[in-house]
Amino acid sequence: AQKVTQAQTEISVVEKEDVTLDCVYETRDTTYYLFWYKQPPSGELVFLIRRNSFDEQNEISGRYSWNFQKSTSSFNFTITASQVVDSAVYFCALSEATGGFKTIFGAGTRLFVKA
């Protein structure tokens, strides 16, 4: 069965600090997809990144970077030089082929960035 664990419930940092949000997943499939979504205080979920199980390349997009490691079943998300606007709840999600690509979300990590 698929499972996503975001062990960090809340993280608080001061602006300009770097912060890493952890995501550990469980799946028996060889074909699966991982995602990160952001939910700002306004409430709407916003897609950030998608990775398939065959592509372990790390990705950088501006201040955001993602580290995908199949060996540890982790897909961690780092924000460099955090800003107050980064304050939000961040969700990691998994879709696996066996489940018909049903999406399972982690519990989310609430990030507070203080000025």
Binding site for other proteins (CB under 8 A): 33, 35, 37, 43-47, 50, 91, 95, 97, 99-108
Residue with tokens 């982690």, as numbered in its chain: 106
Q: 35 vs 76, which CB is nearer to other proteins? A: 35
Q: What is the smallest separation between the CB atom of 29 and other proteins, expressed in angstroms? A: 12
Q: What Cα–Cα distance (Å) separates residue 5 from each residue in 16, 25, 91, 106?
A: 26, 6, 10, 5
Q: What is the smallest separation between the CB atom of 33 and other proteins, expressed in angstroms? A: 5
Q: 82 vs 95, which CB is nearer to other proteins? A: 95
Q: What is the smallest separation between the CB atom of 17 and other proteins, expressed in angstroms? A: 26
Tell me which amino acid residue 33 is.
Y
Cβ neighbors of 44 (< 8 A, separation 6 or more) are none
Q: What is the smallest separation between the CB atom of 15 and other proteins, expressed in angstroms? A: 27
Spatial separation of the C-alpha atoms in residues 91 and 60, rounded to whole Å: 18
Q: 82 vs 111, which CB is nearer to other proteins? A: 111
Taking the CA atoms of 85, 86, 89 and 93 in sequence, report the sign of the dihedral they define: positive
